Amino acid sequence: MALSKYRVGVVTFPGSLDDRDALRAVRLAGAEPVPLWHGEKWLSDVVAVILPGGFSYGDYLRAGAIARFSPAMQSVIDGARNGMPVLGICNGFQVLCEAHLLPGALIRNDHRKFVCRDQRLRIENTETAWTNQYEAGQEIVVPLKNGEGGYVADPATLDALEADGRVVARYLGDNPNGSYRAIAGITNEAGNVVGLMPHPEHAVEELTGPSTDGLAFFTSVLQKLVGIPA
């Protein structure tokens, strides 16, 4: 079956920055990239949605706090509750937390500085719609770049996430932003919604990334949609 018939959308909010990168990653994974506009409720018949990195609305209130109320997000939230795969990267992760599709919150890095570096991660859950092409425990290197990337939640929530295997990726080496339990990404109970602070869409080409380790996030969702078991 031709994968390119699968339309994967990337929502652009005012202040989104990595939307073009996410569209490129979708294309390189073999699907049809579809730009979506935050002001449009209709999601153009896409079968999965990516909320890209950036500073939607300048992050002036709280990162992601305004974007969640956009018309497109209302449709994304409805879709996610019905099982549509949704990946939030960086600012997109913040939007998913603000929209209560994922628990917890992202706060300012503990060292108070923006950080951009090549980050080692361990994939902890290979059952989700976005990670089924990784091997359990696989170590990958993808760029990390954030000012508000510290993942926080109350101890009970963190314990529940760990117990349910909903920690998708964890930082290896120095904790780059003070995230609790070195959490870099989490998923919802159904495994269709994933939030990730690092940027797999910047690690899809040898030429421009530190590796091509990020591409499997985008091929994973296609395998999920095609229905081939991971």
Partner 1 sequence: MTPSSAAQRSLVDTVKAAKKDSDAQQPYRELGLADNEYARIREILGRRPTSSELAMYSVMWSEHCSYKSSKVHLKQFGDKVPVEAKDILLVGMGENAGVVDIGDGWAVTFKIESHNHPSYVEPHQGAATGVGGIVRDILTMGARPVAVLDSLRFGPANAPDTARVLPGVVSGVGSYGNCLGLPNIGGEVAFDSTYLGNPLVNALCVGVLRTDEIKLAKADGPGSKVVLFGARTGGDGIGGASVLASASFEAQGKTKRPAVQVGDPFAEKVLIECCLEIFAADLVTGIQDLGAAGLSCATTELAAAGTGGMAVDLDLAPLRDETLVPEEILMSESQERMMAVVTPKNLSAFMAICEKWDVTATVIGEVNDSGRLTMRWHGEKIVDVPPRTLAHEGPVYQRPIRRPYDQDALNGDHGNGLPRPKTGEKLRSTALKLIASPNLADKSWITDQYDRYVLGNTVLAQPEDAGMVRVTDERWRVEHDGEDSKLGLALATDGNSRYTRLDPYAGAQLALAEAYRNVATTGARPLAVTNCLNFGSPEDPAVMWQFSEAVRGIADGCQQLGIPVTGGNVSFYNQTGTSPILPTPVLGVLGLIDDVSRRTPMAFDQDGHQLYLLGDTRDEFGGSEWAYVMHGFLGGKPPAVDLDREKLLADVLINASRDGLIDAAHDLSDGGLFVALAESCLRGTTGVRVIVPDDVDPFVFLFSESAGRAIVAVPRTEEVRFTDMCTARRLPATRIGVLDVLESAIEVQGQFRLPLAELRTAWASTLPDLFG
Q: Hey, which residues are catalytic here?
A: 90, 199, 201
Residue 151 pairs in a beta bridge with: 106
d(CA 86, CA 192) in angstroms, rounded, equals 6
Q: Determine contact, residues 96/60, Cβ cutoff 8 Å.
A: no
Q: Between 60 and 230, name the residue whose CB sits nearer to partner 1.
A: 60
DSSP per-residue codes, 69-123: GSHHHHHHHHHHHTT--EEEETHHHHHHHHTTSSSSEEE--TTSS-EEEEEEEEE
CB of 230 to partner 1, least distance (A): 27
Look at the block and give the residue holding tokens 């950080």.
115
**H or E element: which one contains 184?**
strand 183-187
CB of 205 to partner 1, least distance (A): 8
CB of 34 to partner 1, least distance (A): 13
CB of 37 to partner 1, least distance (A): 9
CB of 83 to partner 1, least distance (A): 29
Q: Determine contact, residues 77/101, Cβ cutoff 8 Å.
A: yes
Q: Between 120 and 202, name the residue whose CB sits nearer to partner 1.
A: 202
SS3 189: coil
Angle, CA of 49, 38 and 144, to the nearest 5°? 60
Q: Between 2 and 207, name the residue whose CB sits nearer to partner 1.
A: 207
Q: Determine contact, residues 213/140, Cβ cutoff 8 Å.
A: yes
Q: Compute the 3-state secondary structure of the chain and give helix, strand, coil in percent, each to the nearest 5.
A: 30, 25, 45
Footprint of partner 1 on this chain (CB under 8 A)? 14-15, 17-18, 20-21, 24, 27, 39, 53-55, 57-60, 113-117, 143, 145, 147, 199, 201-202, 204-205, 207-209
Amino acid making up residue 174: D
